[in-house]
Amino acid sequence: MNREKMVDMSTKKAWRRLYSKYLGFMRLLANRQSNIFAGIAIFLAGFILFLPFTDTLDLLRQGDEVMHIATVRESLDTSSWLLPQLTGQPNAYKPPLLFWLGMVGEALLGRSLLADRIFMLVLGALTGSLLFVIARRVGASFFKSILIGFSFIVSLAAFKFSRLLMMDLPMAFSLTFVGYLLLLHKLRPRYFYLWIAGFVVGVGFLFKGPLFHVYSGLLYLSFIGIRFWSPAILVNPDRQINLFKKFITEGFVLFVSSLIVPAIWVVSLYVSGHAGVLWFFFVIENVGKFGAENQPMTRIFGGWLLYLLPFTLSALWIWFKSFRQPVRNKANLFSRIFFIAAVLITLLHLLPDRKDPYYVIPVLPLVLLSVGLSVQRNDRTVWWLLKLQNLILAVLTGTVAIIFISWPVGIFIFIFFGIWFGVGVLYKNGDYDWFGQFIAASLIMILFQFLILPKVNRPAIDESIASELQNQSICLVSRNWWDVFELKMVMPNSDIVHSSPMANIHCADGHRAVLELQEQVQLPQNYILTKQWSHWSIRPFDLNIKVN
């Protein structure tokens, strides 16, 4: 009997040792019950905040999304799962995982914008929870960790891209998750963490291609670079050699494991006879980014200024100040690592000719994490900058409400935030300073998303006109051929043909209504201007009907 107990106890110890060695990171939140509830609460709060208007077009849009949604729907209709297609041709511009998520969403929930975007909502909310987990893991307080998680949830980056079928938010989550796994490996070296991190990098490849490998490589170099830069390593050649060997070994494990998922996808394309797509995907599409008109570098850094709202000023100040201070603890160390990684990835995007501001979205969770880990409660400059930005945004929100909604709504916003900031002046304690201004910033973003934007952002085509043209044949005149997909979302049953304004309007055959988007062209023969309306970005739309 005693022998059986000893065997049983030895077995339990072996299982505990195995679990602790390879799956210990799964116990992170279980260390304290409050951490579990907080992580779940951040996820639920993020999901609930992202959900309203996600099934509509009344939100901040990004031009590429219409092509992504069109690819999802056409691929689902034709059962093109392995290689999603658009207009009857394989969509080789982008890897398939984003389209797969949209296809699964529509297969489960039916055809709707919410179904296309549902996984983006989930990943956006999970990113906020993951930031909370990382902050707790490096020793941040419970309250600060919650603020770090929610700072991403209420940022413009999350509010916009968590509700769009774009690959930028999934890349942000994947890169943050890779950073978390590298952090765990740093704290408790286990090759298991590197293998999982490499697998996540491989999954990220299916969102953005080889570029995600470069992102992850720069993140890993940031971890190693901090080690090389430490005084203990710089003055000791033997330690330098050992660290270099470790860098080669760990980098090899990370790189090899990151090739598993891409290799499976490439082999699948070869077997199915789609090998020709790979040349376009790996070479032509990436070379094309260097052949466009060179855009100013300020566009990339403008992405930081825009998508870090409502924390832009305070975040930039914290970064500037923290980088000049010595590393005193674990939180400062990892803050510096994530800071360097974010800067390197941002500088990488200065190389191609295209420099769209939203290219920085994947690094913004790391930016907010770095800022949150570095902020000091007694830094009054941070509080004043946050208060200043809140005042500016509150005034802009109230002014826009007066112009586009009504006087009472705008005046209410001014009075509400006037009282809020007045209370902050009366009760000058540290807790109210930080928490009160954080709540004010969050409320401003929520008002903008759910009150201001739906009123300001008019539909691409007036609802009455869309109803009138439903099931009819339309000739669309615009510079971008993908504008057809924009109208298809509003008028799915209409036959829409595109024509460039630089050529003859070939589809103005006398049977189709001519719709001019953002262009001023000479009216086709036998057509007259019947209606004109504008989008919130002041884009004129003309409707021409043939006169018999």
* Number of domains making up the chain: 3
Query: Pick from 374, 400, 419: which residue ends a domain?
Result: 374
* Same domain assignment for residues 385 and 351: no
Look at residue 4 and tell me if it is in a domain.
Answer: no
**Does residue 427 belong to any structural domain of this protein?**
yes
Does residue 14 lie within any of the structural domains? Answer: no
Q: Are residues 452 and 469 in the same domain?
A: no
Q: Residue 200: name the closest of 261, 248, 251, 250 by CA.
A: 261
Q: Does one domain contain both 439 and 483?
A: no
Same domain assignment for residues 508 and 402: no
Q: What angle do CA 480, 485, 486 make, to 5 degrees?
A: 85
In a domain, 202, yes or no: yes
Domain contains 354 = yes
Query: Is 245 among the domain residues?
Result: yes
Per-residue pLDDT of the chain in tens (548 residues, 90 and over written 9): 455 544 455 555 655 555 555 445 445 444 567 788 888 999 999 999 999 888 888 788 887 888 899 899 999 988 888 889 888 888 877 889 999 999 999 999 988 899 999 999 999 999 999 999 999 998 888 888 999 999 999 999 999 999 999 999 999 999 999 999 999 998 888 889 999 999 999 999 999 888 899 999 999 999 888 877 776 666 677 777 777 888 888 889 999 999 999 999 989 888 887 777 777 777 666 665 665 566 777 888 888 899 998 999 988 888 888 777 777 788 888 888 999 899 999 988 888 777 788 899 999 999 999 988 888 777 778 888 888 898 899 889 888 888 878 888 888 888 888 888 877 666 665 555 677 788 888 899 998 888 888 777 666 677 777 777 788 888 888 877 778 888 888 887 788 888 877 767 777 777 788 888 766 777 777 777 777 776 554 444 455 544 44
pLDDT of residue 3: 52
329 found inside a domain: yes
C-beta atoms surrounding 490 within 10 Å: 18
Q: Same structural domain for residues 403 and 506?
A: no
Looking at the structure, do residues 370 and 386 belong to the same domain, yes or no? no
Same-domain check for residues 491 and 421 = no
Same domain, 408 and 512: no
Query: Which ranges constitute the DSSP H helices of 138-259?
Result: 142-153, 156-161, 168-187, 191-208, 210-228, 231-234, 237-258
CB count in 10 Å sphere of residue 423: 11
d(CA 286, CA 352): 9
* Rounded Cα distance, 534 and 517, in Å: 10
Q: Is residue 146 a contact partner of residue 42, using CB atoms and an 8 Å limit? A: yes
Region class of 505: left (phi > 0), else alpha (psi between -120 and 50), else beta: beta
* pTM, rounded to two decimals: 0.86
Last-in-domain residue among 356, 374, 392: 374
CATH number of 471's domain? 3.40.190
Are both 42 and 56 inside the same structural domain? yes
Between CA 298 and CA 310 the distance in angstroms is: 20
Domain hosting residue 481, numbered range: 463-546
Q: Which residues of 499-513 are buried (b: 16+ CB within 10 A; e: fewer)?
A: beeeeebebbeeebb
Q: Does any domain span residue 185?
A: yes
449 plus 536 within the same structural domain: no
Of 456, 482, 512, which residue is a domain's last?
Answer: 456
Whether 348 and 365 map to the same domain: the answer is yes
At residue 120, the pLDDT reads 95
Q: Are residues 232 and 368 in the same domain?
A: yes
- pLDDT score of 366: 94
